[in-house]
Structure 1
Amino acid sequence: MAKDDFDMDFHFDDDDFDPKAFWDGEDGADIDLSEFDDVPSGGDKLDETVADGYDDELDLSGLGLDDDSDETVDELDLDDILSPKAVRRNSQEHDDFGTNKQEDDSDFDGTEFLDDEDDQTQAAPEDDSDFQSAPEDDADFHDEPEDEDDYPDEEVEDKPARRRKEKPEKASKPPRERKPKEPKEAKPNVFTKLYDLYFAPLTNKEALEAPVDPANPRRRRRKTKAQIFKEVYLPPLIACVCLILILSFVIGAISNAIEKKRVNDAIKQNEIQASISNAQAAEEEYQRIMDEAAVLAANYDYEGAIEKLDSFPDIANYPDMSTKRAEYVNAMNSLVEYKDYSQIPNLSFHVLIADPARAFNDKELGGKYNQNFVTIDEFSKILEQLYANNYVLVDFDDFVSVGQTVSGTDQFEAKSIFLPQGKKPLMLTETMVNYFEYMVDSNNDGVADAGGAGFANKLVLDENGDIKAQYIDSSNNTLTGNYDFVPILEDFIKAHPDFSYRGARAILAVTGSQGIFGYRCNTSYVSTKGNDFYEQEKAGAIAIVEALKAKGYRLACYTYENGKYRDMNSAGITADLQSWTQQIKPIIGDLDTFVFAQASDLSDYTGTSFNVMYQTGFRYFISNSKDPSTEVNNTYVRQKRLMVTGETMVWYKERFTDRGLFDPNMVVDMTARGNNVPKAG
């Protein structure tokens, strides 16, 4: 039977093909496949064609051959080479009908080194008839064994096994690396993309990319500079930036924490300092209020002292303050009323002598100074005795109240003074506080000099704002200090605040023809000293006036020309007061107190002269008398002062001793006076 005559259809791939039925059938038993051999070695030419398609240098390291083995590839069963590993394993373990052959495959495991892709490309097609042969000696294809007698005429001819075409051996190459299995592609997300793009290069894991040549997976596309930068340089840069940001954040957080702590510490420190400052301020305020209250209480103004203590917001936490308040309340309740205001004496002094030697030895007026004036030492001793004898300095306002009638006229009435038991009211007056030129200016040039009679020449303010007296000594040195009445009284009250009733001070009376308080502020000096001199003197006078009023001094007019009003008619009084109004009132202001000069007084307080004075604004009229007294009328107050001079202290001592004022024998400096004080005739 020729090869070309073979027209039997083989349908091995059909699902309903039954190999057993085919071999047992009529046609299958007569098939001799050897007739189709086209090559001398046996087998079909197609077998060599298929075999030639494989690489002669196949890696046979996995076929179980030793390096020294003489067995060639052709001696191997091509099924071991061409069949896929999975197919061979299945064919070894099971026959076509599912029967397990129970064969041991441990001696041959060469195909497991082949890649799946190579297995698929090198395996022979399953439907190729040249590679399909009937199984030999397979019992599953026969229901019962066959006898050799069934085929007596046929000789069984052994045919050589199919082998690969022998080719010259070549040098062995290293085993081919297996292609890594592609991992299952996960769904991309933000984190995986970031990792693949930026962080994979840091861990030496490149992002997967499709190979340029599918036949050569090792060949990769050359990366561009942008890709290299993105994969190699950009991630470290981003990491550095992130690190810098993190460090900046950490450093900022630490800095903020440190700054916050510093601020908190500063706040706490400020709070502590504020607390300390507040405590110190509270302590200072406490001390200030206590001192001011003590002065008010010493001035017998217990009501004012209590109000001052009550102004402190935290009096309950200061037991001393509460104790003082209780003391002031008790002292206020213990005050007694002094009703006989008419017996309130007013001791009057001229300006004091600072240098008795110069005054009493003055050739022209030495006798007058000795007779009518008191030295600063004598005045200081008088104050000490007055204080020791329980006298208290008062003012008109302390025992006289002023109101107004329906018509607008001033109306006066007496009021009670409340003093501690045994205390007595007293008034003091100083006249001639204008410091006449003849007393301080020896050459009549309007400026005090060393040729003066030993008196202070003006009142001034020192660097502390205290009122002092300026004095030029015999050596022409200008001195400032307690050289007259006012500064001596101020220091005494400071040392003995209870000598002043509610801050009362003395009455200071000045004339105006030669200025006031030692300042030549009369316009008559413009023609001789110039306008600048006048303006300067005027400014100094105003400053002293304000300081005296602030201290509590009552300023009074002592006439303008030091005139004797008893001997002057109403016209003369009017002219004198007009000059006062024009020259002095602009500097000293409105005054309601008038002190008569040269031991004068009005004979009638209802006549024209009185009306002139009253219309000028005066309401308190003070004359002098050996019997001091005070009377309060409906429209004015009249008082008689007691003059304190060298003459009265030496020749009329009883005027002071009988009233318990002071003892002249303890006061008068007879040595300075030359043991001789003139007496008026």
Structure 2
Amino acid sequence: MKHSFLTKGKILLFLTLIFIAGCAANTTQQSSATSSPKKRKQLELIKQIEQKEHKEHLLAKAKASAQQYDYQKAITLLKKSSILKDEDIQNAIDTYEKQKKNLVTWPDNSKIPHLFFHSLIVDPSKAFDGDDMDQGYQDYMVTIDEFKNILNQLYEKGFVLVSIQDIAKLNKNGKMVYQNIKLPSNKKPLVLSQDDVSYYEYMKNDGFAKNLTLDANGNLTNTYINRKGKVVQGAYDLVPILDHFVDKHPDFSYKGARGIISLTGYNGVLGYRTSESEYGPNSDKPNPNIKKDRQQAKKVADAMKQEGWEFASHTWGHLNAEKVSLDLLKKDTSKWKQEVEPIVGPTETIIFAFGSDIGDWRQYSNNKYHYLKSQGFDYYANVDASKITWSQLGLNYFRQSRINVDGLRMRGALTGENEVLEHFFNVKLVFDSSRPNAKTLIH
């Protein structure tokens, strides 16, 4: 999140400059012999304040990195300082050196789980209203209250968000190799993602946010139309809610990691109707504001990347990559690169829609894989909630299964059909009482 630069030190400096200006005005008639020492004293005071402000800024930046386990970054920043010999700077370096030594390398990168969500329900009474979308929302979405409770429990259990690229990367020879993830011994890595962050037109008036946008201070927020029809801004979906949580608990993020935002393109992205090819099932004409929507969507995407968010292709048309032909997959990928990539930038990750995949448990070797690899995709994700973790380190790719956190999976946990979520949080304590049949399932 962006913060005001009007710190106490700068306020003090500003007031000092006003004081000096006043002194200068009062000494214009004094002799140079009298004013020169006074001016030198005033300049020395300004220098001291500037040095103090510089030191506080350095220490704050270093602390922010250290809180997210990037001790080396904090140490390097402080050692490059022009005031390296300062006692406070030295004490901070010593502290971070000791904390760095206490980190433990995560023992098995193949055992890192990945949870994913869809858009969060803001108003359950509008989502669960008995219409033809009701059951889909019950099955595939979670409410804001559920998500917030899940976050708290994940944090209490010691999970820390990591990027999928923290797990494995291509080396200089093009071989995918595991990376060292170093955390305190009581912490464990977790990847998080959110699918279909397009705020599709079919979700209108059903109790969801309208889009992701930026507030007056440049912070990520949502637009939402409340029950009175008033347009408001706030944390009404996963991205700003998680940003606020990490602001409060910086140690929930490893080196600034957030999550992966998985996007289609056929009805636009991030709540903006950016597609020339189709305009959604409820549109009868092209978007006349498409240029403006694309510009705003790009501003939002750029801000998200600065905050540590990553983007993935979810295929342009939400295709089942397993079932479609290679030719259709190529056409779809071309559309994604034409319409979505200019907004969010290139991505190396593809998250398959419908939880499908382009191969079984064996190493990828088919034509679909070779095509997707040629298009720059090095990371692949499917859905498998039968186990806590499953991943595959290919010769030049990394594949990871994801666990769906939604109404279906939570109901399964409550009825004893599938207890995989219990590894991450207590479903009974999370399950929203506003859900249909909640009392029956919880008790």
TM-score (structure 2 length as normaliser): 0.86
Q: Please tell me whether the aligned partners of residues 257 and 309 of structure 2 are also in contact (alpha carbons under 8 angstroms).
A: yes
2:129 aligned residue? 361
1:431 aligns with 2:187: no
Q: Please tell me whether the aligned partners of residues 460 and 468 of structure 1 are also in contact (alpha carbons under 8 angstroms).
A: yes
By how many angstroms is 1:335 displaced? Answer: 1.0
Within 5 Å, which residues of 2 pair with 1:451-530? 452-524=205-277
Aligned-partner Cα distance in 2 for 1:551–1:263: 53
Aligned-partner Cα distance in 2 for 1:438–1:337: 45
Within 5 Å, which residues of 2 pair with 1:408-423? 410-423=174-187
* CA deviation profile, 1:105-162 (whole Å, cap 9, x unmatched): xxxxxxxxxxxxxxxxxxxxxxxxxxxxxxxxxxxxxxxxxxxxxxxxxxxxxxxxxx
Equivalent residue letter for 2:107 = K
1:370 aligns with 2:138: yes
Aligned-partner Cα distance in 2 for 1:412–1:270: 62
Aligned-partner Cα distance in 1 for 2:142–2:171: 38
2:425 aligned residue? 662
Equivalent residue letter for 1:540 = Q
By how many angstroms is 1:266 displaced? Answer: 4.2
Aligned-partner Cα distance in 2 for 1:577–1:316: 55
Q: Please tell me whether the aligned partners of residues 106 and 180 of structure 2 are also in contact (alpha carbons under 8 angstroms).
A: yes
2:401 aligned residue? 640
By how many angstroms is 1:404 displaced? Answer: 3.6
Report the more deviating stretch, 383-392 or 265-274.
265-274
Q: Give 1 or 2 for the bigger CA radius of gyration.
A: 1
| Structure 1 stretches lacking a partner, 5+ long | 1-257, 441-451
The verdict on how the C-alpha distance between 1:375 and 1:261 changes in structure 2, with shifts beyond 3 A counting, is same
* Percent of residue pairs identical: 32
2:345 aligned residue? 589
By how many angstroms is 1:631 displaced? Answer: 2.1
Equivalent residue letter for 1:301 = D
Q: Please tell me whether the aligned partners of residues 58 and 78 of structure 2 are also in contact (alpha carbons under 8 angstroms).
A: yes
Q: 1:340 aligns with which of 103, 108, 111?
A: 108
Q: 1:606 aligns with which of 354, 359, 365?
A: 365
Q: 1:316 aligns with which of 72, 81, 85?
A: 85
Equivalent residue letter for 2:76 = E
Q: Please tell me whether the aligned partners of residues 362 and 453 of structure 1 are also in contact (alpha carbons under 8 angstroms).
A: no
The verdict on how the C-alpha distance between 1:676 and 1:516 changes in structure 2, with shifts beyond 3 A counting, is farther
Report the more deviating stretch, 454-463 or 517-526.
517-526
| Structure 2 stretches lacking a partner, 5+ long | 1-26
Aligned-partner Cα distance in 2 for 1:270–1:476: 61
2:3 aligned residue? none
1:598 match: secondary structure: helix
Q: Please tell me whether the aligned partners of residues 370 and 677 of structure 1 are also in contact (alpha carbons under 8 angstroms).
A: no
1:298 aligns with 2:67: yes
2:93 match: secondary structure: helix
Report the more deviating stretch, 546-555 or 666-675.
666-675
By how many angstroms is 1:306 displaced? Answer: 1.1
The verdict on how the C-alpha distance between 1:508 and 1:267 changes in structure 2, with shifts beyond 3 A counting, is farther
1:501 match: secondary structure: coil
Q: Please tell me whether the aligned partners of residues 299 and 497 of structure 1 are also in contact (alpha carbons under 8 angstroms).
A: yes
Q: Please tell me whether the aligned partners of residues 646 and 677 of structure 1 are also in contact (alpha carbons under 8 angstroms).
A: no
1:553 aligned residue? 309
* CA deviation profile, 1:502-555 (whole Å, cap 9, x unmatched): 111100001000111111011147996667511111111111111111111110
Aligned-partner Cα distance in 2 for 1:596–1:550: 25
- Alignment RMSD: 2.1
* CA deviation profile, 1:424-453 (whole Å, cap 9, x unmatched): 00110000101111012xxxxxxxxxxx11
Aligned-partner Cα distance in 1 for 2:402–2:366: 22
Equivalent residue letter for 1:666 = L
By how many angstroms is 1:672 displaced? Answer: 4.0
1:650 aligns with 2:418: no
Report the more deviating stretch, 306-315 or 590-599.
306-315
Aligned-partner Cα distance in 2 for 1:621–1:314: 46
TM-score (structure 1 length as normaliser): 0.57
By how many angstroms is 1:674 displaced? Answer: 4.4
The verdict on how the C-alpha distance between 1:339 and 1:610 changes in structure 2, with shifts beyond 3 A counting, is same
Q: 1:621 aligns with which of 361, 374, 380?
A: 380
Aligned-partner Cα distance in 2 for 1:262–1:522: 72
By how many angstroms is 1:467 displaced? Answer: 0.6
Q: Please tell me whether the aligned partners of residues 209 and 222 of structure 2 are also in contact (alpha carbons under 8 angstroms).
A: yes
Aligned-partner Cα distance in 2 for 1:461–1:267: 50
The verdict on how the C-alpha distance between 1:265 and 1:489 changes in structure 2, with shifts beyond 3 A counting, is farther
The verdict on how the C-alpha distance between 1:570 and 1:264 changes in structure 2, with shifts beyond 3 A counting, is farther
Aligned-partner Cα distance in 2 for 1:259–1:561: 74
Highest relative contact order (Cα 8 Å, sep 6+), 1 or 2? 2
Equivalent residue letter for 2:392 = E
Aligned-partner Cα distance in 2 for 1:263–1:462: 52
Q: Please tell me whether the aligned partners of residues 573 and 612 of structure 1 are also in contact (alpha carbons under 8 angstroms).
A: no
Aligned-partner Cα distance in 2 for 1:259–1:649: 77
Equivalent residue letter for 1:655 = V
